[in-house]
Amino acid sequence: MTTLIDRYVFTVLRRVPEQQRSDIERELRTSIDDAVDARVGAGAAHDTAVEQTLTELGDPDRLADGYADRPRYLIGPAVYPAWKRLITMLLSVVLPIVVLLTVVVRALGDATFGEVVGSAVTTILTVGAHMAFWSTLTFALLERGGVTRAGLPRRPWTLDDLPRYEPGFLTPAQLWSMIIWPVLLIAALVLQQFTFTSEPVLDPANWSFWWPYLIAVLIFEALYAVWLSRRGAWSRTVTVVNAALAVLSAGPIVWLAATERFFNPAWLATLSWDGADPLRWLTGIVIVIAVAGALYDIAEVAVRAERSRRGLPTAVPGSEPLV
């Protein structure tokens, strides 16, 4: 379990070169401990002394910039928090919505499957680049134009702004990605039946059970993300639920692909791969992706849950190991 001091130190270390982190960490921890001891010696409670010391030190991002010999940034510490919040919101919330709308519009416009995928990739690259570029340019101009010194509105930093470094912490960006991807997969599963190509990509016979079943599992995965966020920690229960969802989603996909019931035979007949068997290659790709994805997901959550159970914090690379 990371302490308040750990969280503050880790937040400072995120913005300094990794090769300097060990020395800076020792110096910063010593300074904090001395200040806390002085306050405790004056009669303050230990927790109160810690809070007062860290509050006096101020925004850890600004403190990190102070360790540099000279400013080496495009976005300075005065506006960095606001810029970071805006970029995170644009790339984790707005961009996925734009991509989803683009996919739907292209699919409804009788585009082929390849054209839809190409539009999605192009949108991610171009729109994402524009969001990052214009947002960064705007903040850089504000910084160099002295707007921040004239009083750019921003909320004062408090200890509540410190990130949590426990393995169980789920960021808003992670939550949104865990919700949006099942939604995108459901949209793709439904739209491929009617719009991607002249023939559905996936076997239409499976609409009698398997495709509705997979849609239901994807809905449960989105609900699982919300439940995990509200729960606020990885645990053995979370591991079991996640593993069950991984098996429930990957198992039928592997079985359908292995029994040649995943792809639509009429769609496969439209493919020409210069003598290669498209069914054989596509089946192998689907099985590998489904199995590897499920195993990685199960292992990742199991490791997080075990670290959380043992109370192991997530340190910043290059910092001193916690004991």
Give 125-171 as a DSSP string: HHHHHHHHHHHHHHHHHHHHTTTTTTT---PPP-GGGSPP-STT---
Q: What is the per-residue pLDDT for 163?
A: 74
- 312 has a pLDDT exceeding 60: no
Q: What is the per-residue pLDDT for 254?
A: 95
Q: What is the per-residue pLDDT for 319?
A: 63
- Amino acid occupying residue 133: F
- 228 has a pLDDT exceeding 90: no
Q: What is the pLDDT of residues 83-98, one digit of tens each?
A: 777 888 788 778 888 8
- Amino acid occupying residue 96: P
Hey, what's the torsion of the CAs at 93, 98, 103, 106, to 10 degrees?
170
- 275 has a pLDDT exceeding 80: no
Q: What is the per-residue pLDDT for 192?
A: 80
Q: What is the per-residue pLDDT for 239?
A: 92
d(CA 234, CA 250): 22
Contact 283, 257 (CB under 8 A): yes
Output the six-digit token pair for 52.
């007062």
Q: What is the per-residue pLDDT for 18?
A: 72
d(CA 187, CA 215): 9
Output the six-digit token pair for 216.
């239901």
Where residue 151 falls among pLDDT bands split at 50, 70, 90? very low
- List b or e across 243-255, with b for residues whose CB sees 16 or more CB atoms inside 10 angstroms: bebbebbbebbbe
Instruction: State percent of the chain over pLDDT 90.
Output: 28
Beta bridge partners of 263: 202
Q: How high is the mean pLDDT of the chain? A: 81
Q: What is the pLDDT of residues 190-203, one digit of tens each?
A: 888 877 667 888 99
Q: What is the pLDDT of residues 18-60, one digit of tens each?
A: 778 888 889 999 999 999 999 999 999 999 999 999 999 988 8
Where residue 143 falls among pLDDT bands split at 50, 70, 90? low
Q: What is the per-residue pLDDT for 295?
A: 95
- 79 has a pLDDT exceeding 90: no
